């Protein structure tokens, strides 16, 4: 199966009033820069990068530039040593200046890489999670670029982590029967009224969700305190409640406000300050322990994740495969987190479509803790095979590929 051409599509979706809003991104338009790998068959590889609308066209243009070398490639040959191809694209001599490994060009790389993995799984007629599980440790590591990680994660280290969990896979494979637990991130969007939060919380509990998330970061912290108490009161003490500030606070503000929010016993505070501020996150994590810090939604690459993990500045790693350099870099960061003993709970700019595959592999293939995966329902009608949630659990996808096909 050969890639004979690459098409790019700019997809933008308006949301219902208040949906998707947070303290920093108050009026979002969920959007995808889509890479489509056309082949000499009817099969196409589909890869997504997530944006909030403005600038999506810039990512699409970067996809065109970065993907040129894939034309004419046979998919098995391409993926046999994909880590080398990945690095060549990431380090494209002129385009690298625009990053490196962040921003528009890295988002474009994400869409291209995700399309390659999608096409590979489709060519073998298996879901992505099964493709990854069927690979030997050596073959999987061949798809990764471990450059700039040498003091932390060598090729030998990566292979050893994967190989050491092969014998115990059957103990974790029951998840393919039970599904992967989800948490509802859509109950408490920032622009929702208090009444709407209560109504959504009640509905989520009725649907089987036991973990919920509330957006905080209001101009008046008293609004956050009131809404946090409200969702705890509605959900009950047994529910798991996460809070997400979406980078709104500086470090002194975060220290003061997080202490007060701890009254509702939250599971974590997410992105309490600027996403690049390793030491700011570390100061917050130390001050509010044992209450946890989660971050990674806006961390753009493996090197900055390495620094966060080395500093112990995150308690939960929220790497997103449509933000970093696609499936390849997601798996690299998952290996880094595994070596450091930090759970991976992805942010889902893809609405969980591709990540439902990746968390299954993370748990079965490298022994990551089976926790839960964020669920956002707003774009379900636009996917050919939307993620299915029953009684609060992601059902295991059975269709070939990474579940990223969009309806035309």
For the annotated catalytic residues, the residue numbers are 215, 347
Neighbour-count burial for 269-306, b at 16+ CB within 10 Å, e otherwise: bbbbbbbebbebbbbbbeebeebbbbbbbbbbbbebbb
Return the half-sphere exposure (C-beta side, CA atoms, 13 A cut-off) of residue 326. Answer: 32
Pair 320, 348: CB distance under 8 Å: yes
Q: Supply angle C-alpha 358, 384, 300, rounded to 5.
A: 40
H or E stretch covering 327: helix 326-340
Q: How far apart are CA 235 and CA 185, in angstroms?
A: 14
Q: How far apart are CA 407 and CA 229, in angstroms?
A: 40
| Chain CA centroid to CA 45, Å | 19
Spatial CB neighbours of 370, under 8 Å, sequence gap ≥ 6: 172, 175, 180, 181, 363
CB atoms within 10 A of CB 26: 12
Q: Give the tokens for residue 121.
A: 């799984």
Dihedral angle sign, alpha carbons of residues 324, 328, 329, 335: positive
DSSP state of 103: H
H or E stretch covering 2: none
What are the start-end ranges of the H helices in 67-136? 75-80, 82-90, 103-123, 128-134
CB atoms within 10 A of CB 340: 17
Return the half-sphere exposure (C-beta side, CA atoms, 13 A cut-off) of residue 15. Answer: 21
CB atoms within 10 A of CB 81: 12
Place of tokens 């001050």: 287
Q: How far apart are CA 97 and CA 158, in angstroms?
A: 29
DSSP state of 395: P
């Amino acid at each position: 199966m050969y890639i004979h051409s690459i098409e790019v599509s700019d997809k933008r979706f308006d949301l219902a009033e208040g949906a998707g809003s947070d303290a920093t991104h108050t009026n979002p338009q969920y959007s995808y820069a889509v890479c489509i790998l056309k082949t000499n068959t009817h099969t196409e590889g589909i890869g997504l990068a997530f944006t909030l609308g403005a600038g999506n066209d810039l990512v699409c243009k970067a996809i065109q530039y970065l993907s040129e070398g894939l034309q004419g490639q046979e998919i098995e040959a391409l993926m046999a040593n994909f880590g080398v191809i990945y690095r060549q694209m990431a380090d494209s001599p002129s385009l690298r200046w625009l990053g490196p490994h962040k921003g528009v060009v890295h988002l474009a790389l994400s869409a291209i890489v995700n399309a390659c993995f999608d096409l590979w799984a489709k060519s073998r007629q298996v879901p992505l999670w099964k493709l990854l599980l069927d690979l030997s440790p050596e073959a999987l590591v061949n798809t990764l670029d471990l450059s700039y990680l040498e003091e932390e994660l060598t090729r030998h280290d990566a292979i050893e982590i994967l190989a050491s969990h092969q014998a115990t896979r059957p103990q974790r494979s029951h998840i393919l029967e039970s599904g992967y637990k989800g948490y509802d991130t859509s109950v408490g969007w920032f622009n929702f009224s208090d009444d709407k939060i209560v109504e959504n919380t009640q509905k989520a509990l009725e649907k089987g969700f036991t973990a919920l998330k509330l957006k905080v970061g209001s101009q008046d912290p008293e609004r956050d305190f009131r809404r946090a108490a409200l969702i705890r009161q509605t959900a009950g003490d047994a529910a798991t409640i996460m809070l997400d500030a979406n980078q709104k606070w500086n470090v002194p503000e975060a220290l003061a406000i997080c202490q007060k929010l701890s009254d509702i016993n939250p599971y974590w505070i997410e992105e309490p300050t600027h996403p690049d501020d390793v030491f700011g996150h570390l100061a917050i994590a130390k001050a509010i322990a044992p209450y946890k810090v989660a971050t990674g939604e806006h961390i753009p690459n493996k090197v900055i994740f390495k620094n966060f993990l080395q500093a112990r500045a995150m308690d939960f790693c929220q790497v997103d495969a449509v933000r970093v350099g696609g499936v390849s870099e997601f798996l690299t960061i998952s290996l880094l987190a595994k070596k450091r003993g930090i759970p991976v709970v992805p942010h889902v700019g893809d609405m969980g479509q591709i990540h439902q595959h990746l968390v299954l592999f993370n748990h079965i293939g490298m022994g990551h803790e089976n926790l839960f995966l964020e669920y956002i329902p707003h774009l379900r009608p636009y996917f050919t095979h939307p993620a299915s949630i029953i009684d609060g659990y992601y059902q295991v996808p059975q269709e070939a590929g990474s579940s990223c096909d969009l309806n035309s």
